[in-house]
Amino acid sequence: MRINNQGDWWYLCDTNWEHILDIFGNVGAPMGRTPEDKFWADRRGQPDVEHPKCLAQTLEDLRKARDGNELVGLFGKAWLAADDMGDNIAWAGWQVFNDLCRQAWVFHEHADANVAAPS
């Protein structure tokens, strides 16, 4: 599916949500929902720091709030971590996740909802 606007982006995000959460788990992100899971690194190779919520809940809340800019920021961190792994292309939902990361332009203030992303 071609992503032409925020509606397209959210449709793909929503319909592939379980795969997206699996991708975060595949890159080693803590996806539990216990108090200990509030500790996670903001970048790969950095020490874990305490966050107000666990990563899984943070992702869910951003999705429910339709906060595409913040969600794309976290997607980008998982995407960068996955790039180092080599087998990510075989993961279920990877192509859609990759498209969601690449098509973040739909959340930019000046994005025209009727025009595809520039090449």
pLDDT, one tens digit per residue, over 74-112 is: 999 899 888 766 788 889 999 999 999 999 999 986 555
Cβ atoms of 12 and 1 closer than 8 Å:
yes
Q: Residue 46: which domain range?
A: 6-107
Q: Count CA atoms within 13 Å of residue 42 on its CB side.
A: 5
Three-state SS across 43-88? CCCCCCEECCCCHHHHHHHHHHHCCHHHHHHHHHHHHHHHHCCCCH
Q: Is residue 115 part of a domain?
A: no
pLDDT, one tens digit per residue, over 39-75 is: 888 777 788 888 899 999 999 999 999 999 999 999 9
Q: Is residue 80 part of a domain?
A: yes
Q: How many domains does the chain have?
A: 1
- Give the span between the Cα atoms of 56 and 51, in whole angstroms: 12
